[in-house]
Amino acid sequence: MTHEATTTPAAAPPESVTSQRIATALMDAILAGEIRPGEWLRQDEIAVRFGASRLPVREALRILESEGLAVLSPNRGARIPELSLREVNTYYRMRERLEPLTLIDSLDHITDAQIDRIEGIQREIELNTDVSRFLVLDREFHMTSYAACPSEMLLATTLRLWNSTQHYRRAFMLLAGNDRAAVVNAEHRLLLDAISRRDPEDSERFLVGHIRRTRVALTSHPEVFASD
Amino acid sequence: MTHEATTTPAAAPPESVTSQRIATALMDAILAGEIRPGEWLRQDEIAVRFGASRLPVREALRILESEGLAVLSPNRGARIPELSLREVNTYYRMRERLEPLTLIDSLDHITDAQIDRIEGIQREIELNTDVSRFLVLDREFHMTSYAACPSEMLLATTLRLWNSTQHYRRAFMLLAGNDRAAVVNAEHRLLLDAISRRDPEDSERFLVGHIRRTRVALTSHPEVFASD
DNA sequence: GTGACACACGATGGATCCAATAACAACCCT
DNA sequence: AGGGTTGTTATTGGATCCATCGTGTGTCAC
């Protein structure tokens, strides 16, 4: 749209609305790890932080809820949910089934420029050594591959699954390091090749393998999850 | 706690909160077909209908949005989305991939009493001739089979997919009638048998077949969908 | 007659104030 | 001293009023 490159893959919602602006800022803070699972989001505190009244904050919390980033209890407030190992495992199994569909539908409309962009991201991943940077690049890699999917609902559901598990991916990476980078790069290269050939079967195969291996690796570190 | 029975039916969200009460009522109205896709949900009108101010109505609309039953445009309002044939097709392909997972996870915890209940519902389906009643019973059949799934997120996602496509299922049934009842009953019986044996492979096989055949039947009537 | 512009109306978004609910703590009674 | 109860406080839920945005209509110019 504009000359500025947007970091978010989908069309960003208009920022003129205060509630949406607060929701976006809170979402970024949560995904960046500044707000962690288990923390309460007090309306008054957020309101003064953004120089607004509590009303748009309440709407923002509802938006966060619809994104799966917060749970609202009546008369109790909003908090970031703490996920158990079992729950994250389920989220990843949902991803293994859903994301191939997102990718397959995206393959029907993906452009050469988008494929080039994915390859550029992968090159940057292979040169990168910082863990936090990897989380951003990995997300960009996959989201760009999904960007051409025509179904907003499918994209939104995929994004929800990514957002809800973001904290545990980071906790795992900070703990285990990126010494498995060679495996990730091999998987990404195979996936990228299948995408560039616009081959739905191979794309699904390598994507499922990639998500599944990540799930197994994640769940081998129970200490980063809630105690169930 | 006290000797008095609780008025709320335990599983349902607390109705003491006005916004939740309005959201539930609106959701029932949408699923019952009283509010149809494309219609605008004006805050003022809903507020006077429920004898409340516009504020809880705004929260209720946010809840509806998170359920996938409404889309909110800033400064424009909320409306029930009109889905094209392509979009409903995508929703059903999502169901084909996700609901087997919901069912498989449910099979690990499902009780004999729940299985008996599913069989009772199926018996009622076979005796029933009314189309509207079938929609309710069919939903009950499947939702009861998913009820033991321990993942709230997976259940909620499944429910969203059902709710979002409810209107088009009804439009199709009212148009095509239930002359395919024999096929549905056969599919349900096979699925029920697999569930009662707690067989995940057969359960997935028959469930996918059931959803897929329904999708093909649905999409053979393009006249019930938005023009894309 | 048709196009564009401007104005007015209606609906939504936001701020402030008040009521209700839940966690917390001190207190009293047993 | 312990458990139950009650009062206090902080936080959320709701109502009313005002500002802002989008839309429709009417008019004026071409």
B56 CA: nearest nucleotide by C1': D14
Would you say residue B13 has pLDDT above 60? no
Average pLDDT over every residue of B46-54: 94
Would you say residue B103 has pLDDT above 70? yes
**pLDDT recorded at residue A1:** 36
Please write the tens of the pLDDT for every residue from B157-184: 999 999 999 999 999 999 988 788 999 9
Chains A, B: CB contacts within 8 A come to 68
**pLDDT recorded at residue B177:** 82
A148 pLDDT band (50/70/90 cuts)?
very high
Give me the residue from B65, B94, B97 closest to A66, CB to CB: B65
Would you say residue A16 has pLDDT above 80? no
CB A12 within 8 A of CB A5: no
Q: Is B219 helix (H, G, I), strand (E, B) or coil?
A: coil
Contacts of B153 in chain A (CB under 8 A): 68, 87, 90-91, 94, 164
The residues, any chain, with a CB within 8 Å of residue B220's CB and separated by 6 or more, are: none
CB A191 within 8 A of CB A208: no
> Which of B8, B97, B102 is most worth mutating to test chain A (most A CB atoms within 10 A of its CB)?
B97
Please write the tens of the pLDDT for every residue from A158-196: 999 999 999 999 999 999 887 889 999 999 999 999 999
> Which of A95, A153, A157 is most worth mutating to test chain B (most B CB atoms within 10 A of its CB)?
A153
CB A219 within 8 A of CB A85: yes
Q: Is B179 helix (H, G, I), strand (E, B) or coil?
A: coil
Rounded Cα gap, residues B15 and B17, in angstroms: 5
Protein residue closest via CA to C1' of C15: A53
Q: Is the CB of A41 under 7 A from strand D?
A: yes
Would you say residue B79 has pLDDT above 90? yes
Tell which strand C nucleotides have any atom below 7 Å from a protein Cβ: 11-17, 21-23
**pLDDT recorded at residue B11:** 39
Rounded Cα gap, residues A172 and A223, in angstroms: 9
Report which of A76, A63, A72 is spatially closest to residue A14, judged by C-alpha positions.
A63
CB atoms within 10 A of CB A152: 14
Please write the tens of the pLDDT for every residue from A103-138: 999 999 999 999 999 999 999 999 999 999 999 999
